[in-house]
Structure 1
Amino acid sequence: MTLPTSSIQAVIFDWAGTIVDFGSFAPTSIFVEAFKQGFDFTLSLEEARGPMGLGKWDHIQAVGRMPSVDKRWNAQFGRSMTTADIDAIYAAFMPLQKAKIADHAEPILNVIEVVNGLKAQGIKIGSCSGYPRQVMDVLIPVAADYGYKPDCIVATDDLPQGGRPAPFMALKNVIELSVTNVAACVKVDDSAPGIYEGHNAGMWTVALLLSGNEAGLTLAEYQAADEAALNVAREKARAKLMECRPHYLIDTISNLPEVMADIERRMLAGERP
Protein backbone atom coordinates (compact mmCIF):
# COMPACT_ATOMS: atom_id res chain seq x y z
CA MET A 1 0.00 0.00 0.00
CA THR A 2 1.30 3.44 -0.99
CA LEU A 3 1.27 5.92 1.87
CA PRO A 4 -0.05 9.34 0.78
CA THR A 5 2.56 12.07 0.41
CA SER A 6 0.10 14.63 -0.99
CA SER A 7 -2.84 16.55 0.45
CA ILE A 8 -4.67 15.83 -2.80
CA GLN A 9 -6.77 12.68 -2.42
CA ALA A 10 -7.90 11.98 -5.99
CA VAL A 11 -7.67 13.12 -9.58
CA ILE A 12 -10.69 12.37 -11.76
CA PHE A 13 -9.92 12.24 -15.46
CA ASP A 14 -12.13 12.36 -18.50
CA TRP A 15 -11.28 9.80 -21.20
CA ALA A 16 -11.42 10.89 -24.89
CA GLY A 17 -9.25 13.93 -25.55
CA THR A 18 -7.87 13.84 -22.01
CA ILE A 19 -6.35 10.40 -21.42
CA VAL A 20 -6.84 8.63 -24.77
CA ASP A 21 -7.72 9.62 -28.35
CA PHE A 22 -5.69 12.79 -29.01
CA GLY A 23 -8.07 15.36 -30.52
CA SER A 24 -11.15 13.40 -29.42
CA PHE A 25 -11.80 12.02 -32.90
CA ALA A 26 -13.51 8.74 -31.99
CA PRO A 27 -16.85 10.27 -30.92
CA THR A 28 -16.89 13.16 -33.40
CA SER A 29 -16.22 11.08 -36.50
CA ILE A 30 -18.77 8.48 -35.41
CA PHE A 31 -21.45 11.16 -34.87
CA VAL A 32 -20.95 12.29 -38.45
CA GLU A 33 -21.24 8.69 -39.66
CA ALA A 34 -24.31 7.96 -37.52
CA PHE A 35 -26.22 10.98 -38.88
CA LYS A 36 -25.33 9.87 -42.39
CA GLN A 37 -26.24 6.23 -41.81
CA GLY A 38 -29.45 6.88 -39.91
CA PHE A 39 -30.92 9.73 -41.98
CA ASP A 40 -28.60 10.40 -44.92
CA PHE A 41 -27.97 13.76 -43.22
CA THR A 42 -24.64 15.53 -43.61
CA LEU A 43 -23.13 16.80 -40.38
CA SER A 44 -19.81 18.64 -40.24
CA LEU A 45 -17.04 17.57 -37.88
CA GLU A 46 -17.20 21.03 -36.29
CA GLU A 47 -20.94 20.66 -35.61
CA ALA A 48 -20.35 17.21 -34.14
CA ARG A 49 -17.73 18.65 -31.79
CA GLY A 50 -19.96 21.41 -30.43
CA PRO A 51 -21.60 19.78 -27.36
CA MET A 52 -18.74 17.37 -26.58
CA GLY A 53 -18.62 16.19 -22.99
CA LEU A 54 -22.34 15.47 -22.68
CA GLY A 55 -23.69 11.94 -22.64
CA LYS A 56 -24.07 10.72 -26.21
CA TRP A 57 -27.90 10.79 -26.38
CA ASP A 58 -27.87 14.31 -24.94
CA HIS A 59 -25.07 15.20 -27.36
CA ILE A 60 -27.19 14.16 -30.35
CA GLN A 61 -30.11 16.19 -28.99
CA ALA A 62 -27.86 19.24 -28.54
CA VAL A 63 -26.52 18.91 -32.09
CA GLY A 64 -30.08 18.75 -33.42
CA ARG A 65 -30.91 22.01 -31.63
CA MET A 66 -28.03 23.93 -33.24
CA PRO A 67 -29.57 26.59 -35.53
CA SER A 68 -27.48 25.49 -38.52
CA VAL A 69 -28.43 21.83 -38.07
CA ASP A 70 -32.08 22.53 -37.27
CA LYS A 71 -32.41 24.67 -40.41
CA ARG A 72 -31.00 21.92 -42.66
CA TRP A 73 -33.01 19.22 -40.85
CA ASN A 74 -36.23 21.19 -41.44
CA ALA A 75 -35.30 21.70 -45.08
CA GLN A 76 -34.68 17.97 -45.51
CA PHE A 77 -37.53 16.53 -43.39
CA GLY A 78 -40.02 19.36 -42.94
CA ARG A 79 -39.72 19.35 -39.14
CA SER A 80 -37.23 19.71 -36.32
CA MET A 81 -35.52 16.66 -34.88
CA THR A 82 -37.78 14.53 -32.66
CA THR A 83 -37.04 12.21 -29.75
CA ALA A 84 -37.61 9.27 -32.10
CA ASP A 85 -35.01 10.72 -34.48
CA ILE A 86 -32.51 11.03 -31.63
CA ASP A 87 -33.20 7.43 -30.61
CA ALA A 88 -32.59 6.26 -34.18
CA ILE A 89 -29.30 8.14 -34.51
CA TYR A 90 -28.19 6.88 -31.10
CA ALA A 91 -29.03 3.32 -32.19
CA ALA A 92 -26.83 3.81 -35.27
CA PHE A 93 -24.10 5.45 -33.19
CA MET A 94 -23.67 2.67 -30.64
CA PRO A 95 -22.50 -0.24 -32.84
CA LEU A 96 -20.28 2.11 -34.86
CA GLN A 97 -18.67 3.46 -31.69
CA LYS A 98 -18.16 0.02 -30.17
CA ALA A 99 -16.57 -1.22 -33.39
CA LYS A 100 -14.09 1.64 -33.60
CA ILE A 101 -13.38 2.71 -30.03
CA ALA A 102 -10.46 0.30 -29.63
CA ASP A 103 -8.69 2.08 -32.50
CA HIS A 104 -8.62 5.23 -30.35
CA ALA A 105 -7.52 3.69 -27.03
CA GLU A 106 -3.84 4.61 -27.08
CA PRO A 107 -2.93 6.92 -24.19
CA ILE A 108 -2.03 10.51 -25.00
CA LEU A 109 1.59 11.67 -24.62
CA ASN A 110 3.09 10.99 -21.15
CA VAL A 111 -0.23 9.90 -19.67
CA ILE A 112 1.09 6.67 -18.17
CA GLU A 113 4.12 8.39 -16.61
CA VAL A 114 2.02 11.20 -15.14
CA VAL A 115 -0.67 8.86 -13.79
CA ASN A 116 1.92 6.51 -12.27
CA GLY A 117 3.58 9.53 -10.66
CA LEU A 118 0.27 10.48 -9.03
CA LYS A 119 -0.25 6.93 -7.81
CA ALA A 120 3.25 6.95 -6.32
CA GLN A 121 2.15 9.89 -4.15
CA GLY A 122 -0.84 7.90 -2.90
CA ILE A 123 -3.30 9.89 -5.04
CA LYS A 124 -6.27 7.86 -6.23
CA ILE A 125 -7.15 7.86 -9.93
CA GLY A 126 -10.80 8.25 -10.81
CA SER A 127 -12.39 8.59 -14.22
CA CYS A 128 -15.68 9.33 -15.91
CA SER A 129 -16.84 9.59 -19.49
CA GLY A 130 -19.59 10.76 -21.79
CA TYR A 131 -19.45 7.26 -23.26
CA PRO A 132 -22.12 4.79 -22.10
CA ARG A 133 -21.09 1.64 -20.25
CA GLN A 134 -21.27 -0.66 -23.27
CA VAL A 135 -18.68 1.47 -25.07
CA MET A 136 -16.52 1.75 -21.95
CA ASP A 137 -16.56 -2.03 -21.61
CA VAL A 138 -14.77 -2.20 -24.97
CA LEU A 139 -12.39 0.68 -24.26
CA ILE A 140 -11.32 -0.24 -20.70
CA PRO A 141 -9.43 -3.50 -21.42
CA VAL A 142 -7.65 -2.04 -24.46
CA ALA A 143 -6.52 1.01 -22.48
CA ALA A 144 -5.38 -1.37 -19.71
CA ASP A 145 -3.23 -3.22 -22.23
CA TYR A 146 -1.52 0.12 -22.90
CA GLY A 147 -0.97 0.52 -19.15
CA TYR A 148 -3.82 2.85 -18.12
CA LYS A 149 -5.72 1.39 -15.18
CA PRO A 150 -7.70 3.94 -13.13
CA ASP A 151 -8.99 2.98 -9.70
CA CYS A 152 -12.59 3.87 -10.60
CA ILE A 153 -14.50 4.21 -13.87
CA VAL A 154 -17.97 5.75 -14.17
CA ALA A 155 -19.87 5.80 -17.47
CA THR A 156 -22.50 8.37 -18.32
CA ASP A 157 -25.40 5.90 -18.05
CA ASP A 158 -24.25 4.26 -14.79
CA LEU A 159 -26.34 6.70 -12.77
CA PRO A 160 -30.06 7.44 -13.15
CA GLN A 161 -29.51 11.15 -12.44
CA GLY A 162 -27.68 11.62 -15.74
CA GLY A 163 -24.29 12.91 -16.78
CA ARG A 164 -22.49 16.21 -17.17
CA PRO A 165 -22.57 19.08 -16.39
CA ALA A 166 -24.19 17.72 -13.20
CA PRO A 167 -21.70 16.45 -10.59
CA PHE A 168 -23.02 12.90 -10.18
CA MET A 169 -20.32 10.98 -12.06
CA ALA A 170 -17.56 12.87 -10.28
CA LEU A 171 -19.26 12.32 -6.91
CA LYS A 172 -19.71 8.62 -7.67
CA ASN A 173 -15.92 8.50 -7.99
CA VAL A 174 -15.61 10.24 -4.62
CA ILE A 175 -17.79 7.58 -2.99
CA GLU A 176 -16.14 4.61 -4.70
CA LEU A 177 -12.64 5.90 -3.91
CA SER A 178 -13.51 6.63 -0.25
CA VAL A 179 -12.47 10.26 -0.63
CA THR A 180 -13.24 12.26 2.51
CA ASN A 181 -13.09 15.79 1.08
CA VAL A 182 -14.23 16.83 -2.40
CA ALA A 183 -12.07 19.98 -2.07
CA ALA A 184 -9.07 17.64 -2.10
CA CYS A 185 -10.00 16.37 -5.58
CA VAL A 186 -8.99 17.57 -9.04
CA LYS A 187 -11.16 17.17 -12.16
CA VAL A 188 -9.25 17.13 -15.46
CA ASP A 189 -11.17 17.45 -18.74
CA ASP A 190 -10.99 18.80 -22.28
CA SER A 191 -14.63 19.92 -22.51
CA ALA A 192 -16.74 22.63 -20.90
CA PRO A 193 -19.40 20.22 -19.55
CA GLY A 194 -16.63 18.24 -17.84
CA ILE A 195 -15.20 21.36 -16.21
CA TYR A 196 -18.66 22.43 -15.04
CA GLU A 197 -19.03 18.93 -13.62
CA GLY A 198 -15.91 19.49 -11.54
CA HIS A 199 -17.10 22.90 -10.34
CA ASN A 200 -20.51 21.49 -9.43
CA ALA A 201 -18.82 18.74 -7.43
CA GLY A 202 -16.71 21.29 -5.51
CA MET A 203 -13.36 20.24 -6.99
CA TRP A 204 -10.31 21.93 -8.46
CA THR A 205 -10.62 21.97 -12.26
CA VAL A 206 -7.98 21.68 -14.97
CA ALA A 207 -8.90 22.20 -18.64
CA LEU A 208 -6.79 20.90 -21.51
CA LEU A 209 -6.20 23.15 -24.51
CA LEU A 210 -4.36 21.12 -27.14
CA SER A 211 -5.06 17.41 -26.71
CA GLY A 212 -8.81 17.57 -26.78
CA ASN A 213 -12.00 18.47 -28.52
CA GLU A 214 -11.73 22.25 -28.65
CA ALA A 215 -8.42 22.44 -30.53
CA GLY A 216 -9.39 19.44 -32.68
CA LEU A 217 -5.81 18.65 -33.71
CA THR A 218 -4.68 15.19 -34.70
CA LEU A 219 -1.56 13.94 -32.95
CA ALA A 220 0.36 14.30 -36.22
CA GLU A 221 -0.81 17.91 -36.62
CA TYR A 222 0.17 18.68 -33.03
CA GLN A 223 3.64 17.17 -33.42
CA ALA A 224 4.25 18.93 -36.75
CA ALA A 225 2.93 22.36 -35.70
CA ASP A 226 5.23 25.29 -35.03
CA GLU A 227 4.64 27.57 -32.07
CA ALA A 228 2.57 30.03 -34.10
CA ALA A 229 0.19 27.26 -35.20
CA LEU A 230 -0.04 25.92 -31.66
CA ASN A 231 -0.88 29.40 -30.38
CA VAL A 232 -3.76 29.65 -32.84
CA ALA A 233 -5.10 26.30 -31.61
CA ARG A 234 -4.58 27.31 -27.98
CA GLU A 235 -6.51 30.54 -28.38
CA LYS A 236 -9.35 28.78 -30.19
CA ALA A 237 -9.67 26.32 -27.30
CA ARG A 238 -9.09 28.98 -24.65
CA ALA A 239 -11.95 31.13 -25.97
CA LYS A 240 -14.37 28.24 -25.45
CA LEU A 241 -12.99 26.86 -22.21
CA MET A 242 -12.62 30.18 -20.41
CA GLU A 243 -16.43 30.40 -20.35
CA CYS A 244 -16.47 27.63 -17.73
CA ARG A 245 -13.73 29.31 -15.66
CA PRO A 246 -11.37 26.41 -14.96
CA HIS A 247 -8.85 26.93 -12.17
CA TYR A 248 -6.06 26.00 -14.60
CA LEU A 249 -5.60 25.81 -18.38
CA ILE A 250 -2.76 23.62 -19.68
CA ASP A 251 -1.82 22.12 -23.05
CA THR A 252 -1.90 18.39 -22.24
CA ILE A 253 -1.61 15.95 -19.35
CA SER A 254 2.17 16.35 -19.66
CA ASN A 255 1.81 19.72 -17.90
CA LEU A 256 -0.27 18.37 -15.02
CA PRO A 257 2.52 17.74 -12.47
CA GLU A 258 3.29 21.49 -12.21
CA VAL A 259 -0.41 22.20 -11.67
CA MET A 260 -0.68 19.51 -9.01
CA ALA A 261 2.25 21.08 -7.16
CA ASP A 262 0.54 24.48 -7.25
CA ILE A 263 -2.78 23.06 -6.03
CA GLU A 264 -0.88 21.35 -3.22
CA ARG A 265 0.71 24.68 -2.29
CA ARG A 266 -2.65 26.47 -2.30
CA MET A 267 -4.32 23.77 -0.22
CA LEU A 268 -1.56 23.92 2.38
CA ALA A 269 -2.13 27.70 2.51
CA GLY A 270 -5.79 27.06 3.34
CA GLU A 271 -7.31 27.72 -0.09
CA ARG A 272 -10.28 25.77 -1.42
CA PRO A 273 -11.55 25.38 -5.00
Structure 2
Amino acid sequence: MAIEAVIFDWAGTVIDYGSRAPLLAFKRTFADYGVAVPEAAIRQDMGLDKLTHINKLLADPAVADHFATQYHHAPDAALAAELFARFKATLLKILPETAALKPGMSELIAFLTANHIPYGTTSGYDADMLATLLPLVQAHGYAPQVNITSEQTQGVGRPEPAMNQLAMQRLGVHDPARVLIVGDTVNDVLAAQNAGANAVGIIEGANLLALSASDWAALAEDQRQALRQKVRSTYANAGADVIVNSAYDLLELIKRECDLEAV
Protein backbone atom coordinates (compact mmCIF):
# COMPACT_ATOMS: atom_id res chain seq x y z
CA MET A 1 0.00 0.00 0.00
CA ALA A 2 1.31 3.43 -0.93
CA ILE A 3 0.76 5.47 2.22
CA GLU A 4 -0.42 8.98 1.35
CA ALA A 5 -0.14 10.45 4.86
CA VAL A 6 0.05 9.73 8.57
CA ILE A 7 -2.03 11.61 11.12
CA PHE A 8 -1.05 11.48 14.79
CA ASP A 9 -2.72 12.25 18.07
CA TRP A 10 -0.54 14.09 20.59
CA ALA A 11 -0.37 13.05 24.28
CA GLY A 12 0.22 9.34 24.77
CA THR A 13 0.87 8.85 21.06
CA VAL A 14 3.75 11.09 19.98
CA ILE A 15 4.72 12.80 23.25
CA ASP A 16 3.95 12.48 26.96
CA TYR A 17 4.50 8.82 27.81
CA GLY A 18 1.40 7.65 29.67
CA SER A 19 -0.61 10.74 28.68
CA ARG A 20 0.16 12.31 32.04
CA ALA A 21 -0.35 16.02 31.32
CA PRO A 22 -4.13 16.00 30.74
CA LEU A 23 -4.63 13.46 33.52
CA LEU A 24 -2.80 15.60 36.07
CA ALA A 25 -4.53 18.79 34.92
CA PHE A 26 -7.99 17.21 35.27
CA LYS A 27 -7.17 15.79 38.70
CA ARG A 28 -5.79 19.08 40.01
CA THR A 29 -8.65 21.12 38.58
CA PHE A 30 -11.37 19.02 40.18
CA ALA A 31 -9.38 18.74 43.42
CA ASP A 32 -9.49 22.53 43.65
CA TYR A 33 -13.26 22.11 44.01
CA GLY A 34 -12.96 19.31 46.53
CA VAL A 35 -13.64 16.48 44.08
CA ALA A 36 -11.29 13.49 43.84
CA VAL A 37 -12.02 12.09 40.40
CA PRO A 38 -10.65 8.54 39.94
CA GLU A 39 -7.94 8.20 37.31
CA ALA A 40 -9.94 5.54 35.46
CA ALA A 41 -12.91 7.90 35.16
CA ILE A 42 -10.68 10.54 33.59
CA ARG A 43 -8.90 8.17 31.23
CA GLN A 44 -12.04 6.56 29.80
CA ASP A 45 -12.93 9.66 27.78
CA MET A 46 -9.44 10.78 26.77
CA GLY A 47 -9.23 11.89 23.16
CA LEU A 48 -12.24 14.17 23.39
CA ASP A 49 -11.83 17.93 23.26
CA LYS A 50 -11.27 19.13 26.79
CA LEU A 51 -14.52 21.06 27.32
CA THR A 52 -16.51 18.02 26.19
CA HIS A 53 -14.39 15.90 28.51
CA ILE A 54 -15.18 18.20 31.43
CA ASN A 55 -18.88 17.97 30.69
CA LYS A 56 -18.58 14.18 30.68
CA LEU A 57 -16.96 14.26 34.09
CA LEU A 58 -19.60 16.64 35.41
CA ALA A 59 -22.29 14.20 34.28
CA ASP A 60 -20.92 11.53 36.62
CA PRO A 61 -23.53 11.19 39.43
CA ALA A 62 -20.97 11.40 42.24
CA VAL A 63 -19.37 14.52 40.77
CA ALA A 64 -22.74 16.15 40.05
CA ASP A 65 -23.94 15.40 43.60
CA HIS A 66 -20.82 17.01 45.06
CA PHE A 67 -21.36 20.24 43.18
CA ALA A 68 -25.08 20.24 43.96
CA THR A 69 -24.32 19.83 47.67
CA GLN A 70 -21.35 22.17 47.96
CA TYR A 71 -22.46 24.89 45.58
CA HIS A 72 -26.23 24.49 45.81
CA HIS A 73 -26.83 24.01 42.10
CA ALA A 74 -26.30 21.26 39.57
CA PRO A 75 -23.38 21.55 37.16
CA ASP A 76 -24.20 23.82 34.23
CA ALA A 77 -22.52 25.44 31.25
CA ALA A 78 -21.15 28.27 33.37
CA LEU A 79 -19.47 25.83 35.75
CA ALA A 80 -18.08 23.81 32.85
CA ALA A 81 -16.59 26.97 31.34
CA GLU A 82 -15.09 27.93 34.72
CA LEU A 83 -13.55 24.47 35.12
CA PHE A 84 -12.21 24.54 31.58
CA ALA A 85 -10.49 27.88 32.17
CA ARG A 86 -8.84 26.53 35.32
CA PHE A 87 -7.96 23.26 33.60
CA LYS A 88 -6.37 25.11 30.69
CA ALA A 89 -4.26 27.33 32.94
CA THR A 90 -3.05 24.26 34.84
CA LEU A 91 -2.36 22.26 31.70
CA LEU A 92 -0.33 25.04 30.07
CA LYS A 93 2.02 24.93 33.06
CA ILE A 94 2.38 21.15 32.86
CA LEU A 95 2.81 20.74 29.09
CA PRO A 96 6.50 21.76 28.90
CA GLU A 97 7.31 19.06 31.48
CA THR A 98 5.75 16.29 29.37
CA ALA A 99 6.62 17.31 25.81
CA ALA A 100 9.39 14.77 25.21
CA LEU A 101 8.94 12.59 22.13
CA LYS A 102 8.15 8.97 22.94
CA PRO A 103 10.73 6.28 22.13
CA GLY A 104 10.98 5.59 18.41
CA MET A 105 9.23 8.77 17.31
CA SER A 106 12.40 10.55 16.20
CA GLU A 107 13.31 7.64 13.95
CA LEU A 108 9.77 7.37 12.58
CA ILE A 109 9.55 11.07 11.78
CA ALA A 110 12.99 11.05 10.16
CA PHE A 111 11.82 8.22 7.90
CA LEU A 112 8.57 9.96 6.94
CA THR A 113 10.48 13.16 6.19
CA ALA A 114 13.20 11.43 4.14
CA ASN A 115 10.60 9.56 2.09
CA HIS A 116 8.34 12.58 1.57
CA ILE A 117 5.36 11.08 3.40
CA PRO A 118 3.38 14.01 4.82
CA TYR A 119 2.16 13.92 8.39
CA GLY A 120 -0.10 16.01 10.55
CA THR A 121 -1.98 15.94 13.83
CA THR A 122 -5.41 16.16 15.36
CA SER A 123 -5.93 16.81 19.02
CA GLY A 124 -8.25 17.21 21.94
CA TYR A 125 -6.02 20.14 22.86
CA ASP A 126 -6.87 23.63 21.64
CA ALA A 127 -4.77 26.09 19.64
CA ASP A 128 -3.21 27.72 22.71
CA MET A 129 -2.12 24.35 24.04
CA LEU A 130 -0.58 23.39 20.71
CA ALA A 131 1.12 26.78 20.51
CA THR A 132 2.92 25.83 23.72
CA LEU A 133 3.87 22.38 22.44
CA LEU A 134 4.92 23.05 18.85
CA PRO A 135 8.17 24.97 19.50
CA LEU A 136 9.22 22.32 22.02
CA VAL A 137 8.75 19.38 19.65
CA GLN A 138 10.00 21.18 16.55
CA ALA A 139 13.34 21.56 18.32
CA HIS A 140 13.54 17.76 18.19
CA GLY A 141 12.57 17.40 14.54
CA TYR A 142 8.82 16.94 14.90
CA ALA A 143 7.19 19.44 12.53
CA PRO A 144 3.69 18.37 11.46
CA GLN A 145 2.48 20.02 8.26
CA VAL A 146 -1.01 20.52 9.70
CA ASN A 147 -2.36 20.63 13.25
CA ILE A 148 -6.13 20.40 13.53
CA THR A 149 -8.21 21.15 16.63
CA SER A 150 -11.97 21.17 17.04
CA GLU A 151 -11.86 24.98 16.90
CA GLN A 152 -11.30 24.53 13.15
CA THR A 153 -14.25 22.14 12.75
CA GLN A 154 -16.97 24.23 14.43
CA GLY A 155 -16.45 22.45 17.72
CA VAL A 156 -16.82 18.94 16.30
CA GLY A 157 -14.19 16.68 17.81
CA ARG A 158 -13.64 12.96 18.23
CA PRO A 159 -15.10 10.43 17.70
CA GLU A 160 -16.60 12.29 14.72
CA PRO A 161 -14.39 12.32 11.60
CA ALA A 162 -14.34 16.09 11.02
CA MET A 163 -10.83 16.79 12.34
CA ASN A 164 -9.31 13.87 10.43
CA GLN A 165 -11.16 14.84 7.27
CA LEU A 166 -9.86 18.40 7.48
CA ALA A 167 -6.33 17.18 8.17
CA MET A 168 -6.46 14.87 5.14
CA GLN A 169 -7.83 17.65 2.96
CA ARG A 170 -5.00 19.98 3.94
CA LEU A 171 -2.42 17.23 3.47
CA GLY A 172 -3.69 16.66 -0.07
CA VAL A 173 -4.95 13.13 0.55
CA HIS A 174 -6.93 11.57 -2.29
CA ASP A 175 -7.73 8.20 -0.73
CA PRO A 176 -8.43 7.93 3.04
CA ALA A 177 -7.85 4.18 2.80
CA ARG A 178 -4.17 5.00 2.22
CA VAL A 179 -3.91 7.04 5.43
CA LEU A 180 -2.74 5.83 8.84
CA ILE A 181 -4.34 7.60 11.81
CA VAL A 182 -2.39 6.83 14.98
CA GLY A 183 -3.73 7.23 18.49
CA ASP A 184 -3.76 5.86 22.01
CA THR A 185 -7.47 5.95 22.92
CA VAL A 186 -10.71 4.33 21.81
CA ASN A 187 -11.91 7.74 20.63
CA ASP A 188 -8.88 7.97 18.33
CA VAL A 189 -9.75 4.59 16.81
CA LEU A 190 -13.39 5.51 16.30
CA ALA A 191 -12.54 8.87 14.72
CA ALA A 192 -10.14 7.17 12.29
CA GLN A 193 -12.74 4.57 11.34
CA ASN A 194 -15.37 7.23 10.82
CA ALA A 195 -13.01 9.05 8.45
CA GLY A 196 -12.54 5.91 6.33
CA ALA A 197 -8.84 5.64 7.22
CA ASN A 198 -6.72 2.96 8.87
CA ALA A 199 -6.97 3.18 12.65
CA VAL A 200 -3.65 2.44 14.34
CA GLY A 201 -3.54 1.85 18.10
CA ILE A 202 -0.20 2.24 19.86
CA ILE A 203 0.27 0.35 23.11
CA GLU A 204 3.36 1.44 25.04
CA GLY A 205 3.02 4.85 26.63
CA ALA A 206 -0.66 5.01 25.71
CA ASN A 207 -3.51 6.44 27.72
CA LEU A 208 -5.07 2.97 27.58
CA LEU A 209 -1.97 1.47 29.20
CA ALA A 210 -2.14 4.19 31.89
CA LEU A 211 1.46 3.86 33.10
CA SER A 212 4.34 6.31 33.27
CA ALA A 213 7.66 5.34 31.69
CA SER A 214 9.16 4.55 35.09
CA ASP A 215 6.19 2.42 36.15
CA TRP A 216 6.36 0.49 32.87
CA ALA A 217 10.12 -0.05 33.21
CA ALA A 218 9.64 -1.42 36.74
CA LEU A 219 7.38 -4.26 35.58
CA ALA A 220 8.51 -7.81 34.92
CA GLU A 221 8.23 -8.93 31.31
CA ASP A 222 5.32 -11.27 32.01
CA GLN A 223 3.41 -8.36 33.56
CA ARG A 224 4.15 -6.22 30.51
CA GLN A 225 2.93 -8.94 28.20
CA ALA A 226 -0.33 -9.27 30.11
CA LEU A 227 -0.92 -5.52 29.95
CA ARG A 228 -0.03 -5.36 26.26
CA GLN A 229 -2.60 -8.05 25.57
CA LYS A 230 -5.26 -6.22 27.59
CA VAL A 231 -4.71 -2.99 25.64
CA ARG A 232 -4.50 -4.90 22.36
CA SER A 233 -7.91 -6.43 23.08
CA THR A 234 -9.40 -3.02 23.83
CA TYR A 235 -8.14 -1.62 20.53
CA ALA A 236 -9.32 -4.70 18.65
CA ASN A 237 -12.78 -4.51 20.19
CA ALA A 238 -12.97 -0.86 19.13
CA GLY A 239 -12.18 -1.89 15.55
CA ALA A 240 -8.53 -0.87 15.16
CA ASP A 241 -7.07 -1.94 11.83
CA VAL A 242 -3.48 -2.07 13.08
CA ILE A 243 -2.12 -2.43 16.62
CA VAL A 244 1.56 -1.86 17.38
CA ASN A 245 3.60 -1.95 20.56
CA SER A 246 5.59 1.19 19.83
CA ALA A 247 6.67 3.76 17.26
CA TYR A 248 9.56 1.44 16.38
CA ASP A 249 7.07 -1.21 15.31
CA LEU A 250 5.03 1.34 13.39
CA LEU A 251 8.17 2.40 11.52
CA GLU A 252 8.85 -1.19 10.48
CA LEU A 253 5.24 -1.60 9.36
CA ILE A 254 5.40 1.56 7.23
CA LYS A 255 8.67 0.39 5.64
CA ARG A 256 7.04 -2.91 4.68
CA GLU A 257 3.87 -1.27 3.37
CA CYS A 258 5.81 1.21 1.27
CA ASP A 259 8.50 -1.27 0.29
CA LEU A 260 11.04 1.36 1.26
CA GLU A 261 14.35 1.27 3.05
CA ALA A 262 15.42 3.84 5.58
CA VAL A 263 17.23 6.71 3.93
The residue number in structure 2 matching 1:3 is none
Alignment partner of 1:52 is 2:46: yes
The residue number in structure 2 matching 1:208 is 202
Using the TM superposition, name which of 148-157 and 17-26 deviates more: 148-157
Aligned partners of 1:167 and 1:200 also within 8 Å: yes
Aligned partners of 1:53 and 1:193 also within 8 Å: yes
Amino acid of the residue matched to residue 24 of structure 1? S
The residue number in structure 2 matching 1:268 is none
Alignment of structure 1 residues 1-273 onto 2, 5 Å: 7-37=2-32, 39-70=33-64, 72-74=66-68, 76-77=70-71, 80-261=74-255, 263=257
Seen in structure 2, the aligned counterparts of structure 1 residues 73 and 238 have a Cα distance that, compared at 3 Å, is farther
Seen in structure 2, the aligned counterparts of structure 1 residues 43 and 170 have a Cα distance that, compared at 3 Å, is same
Name the SS for the 1:40 alignment partner. Answer: coil
Q: Distance in 2 between matches of 1:51 and 1:34?
A: 16
**Deviation of 1:67 (Å):** 4.3
Alignment size in residue pairs:
259
Amino acid of the residue matched to residue 45 of structure 2? P
- Unaligned runs of 5+ residues in structure 1 are 1-5, 266-273
Q: CA RMSD in A?
A: 2.0
**Deviation of 1:182 (Å):** 1.3
Q: Distance in 2 between matches of 1:30 and 1:121?
A: 37
Q: Distance in 2 between matches of 1:241 and 1:260?
A: 19
Aligned partners of 1:133 and 1:158 also within 8 Å: no
Aligned partners of 1:191 and 1:214 also within 8 Å: yes
Cα offsets for 1:194-246 (capped at 9, x unmatched): 11111111101111122111111111122232221212322342343333210
**Deviation of 1:77 (Å):** 4.8
**Deviation of 1:79 (Å):** 5.3
Q: Distance in 2 between matches of 1:20 and 1:176?
A: 23
Using the TM superposition, name which of 68-77 and 39-48 deviates more: 68-77
Aligned-pair identity in percent equals: 26
Aligned partners of 2:5 and 2:117 also within 8 Å: yes
Q: Distance in 2 between matches of 1:118 and 1:244?
A: 27
Name the SS for the 2:109 alignment partner. Answer: helix
Name the SS for the 2:189 alignment partner. Answer: helix
TM-score, L = length of structure 2? 0.91
Aligned partners of 1:248 and 1:259 also within 8 Å: no
Aligned partners of 2:109 and 2:141 also within 8 Å: no
Aligned partners of 1:21 and 1:105 also within 8 Å: yes
Aligned partners of 1:29 and 1:45 also within 8 Å: no
**Deviation of 1:129 (Å):** 0.8
Aligned partners of 1:170 and 1:198 also within 8 Å: yes
Aligned partners of 2:2 and 2:257 also within 8 Å: no
Seen in structure 2, the aligned counterparts of structure 1 residues 75 and 264 have a Cα distance that, compared at 3 Å, is farther
Seen in structure 2, the aligned counterparts of structure 1 residues 243 and 157 have a Cα distance that, compared at 3 Å, is farther
**Deviation of 1:258 (Å):** 3.3
Aligned partners of 1:31 and 1:48 also within 8 Å: yes
Q: Distance in 1 between matches of 2:126 and 2:43?
A: 17
TM-score, L = length of structure 1? 0.88
Seen in structure 2, the aligned counterparts of structure 1 residues 170 and 20 have a Cα distance that, compared at 3 Å, is same
- Unaligned runs of 5+ residues in structure 2 are none
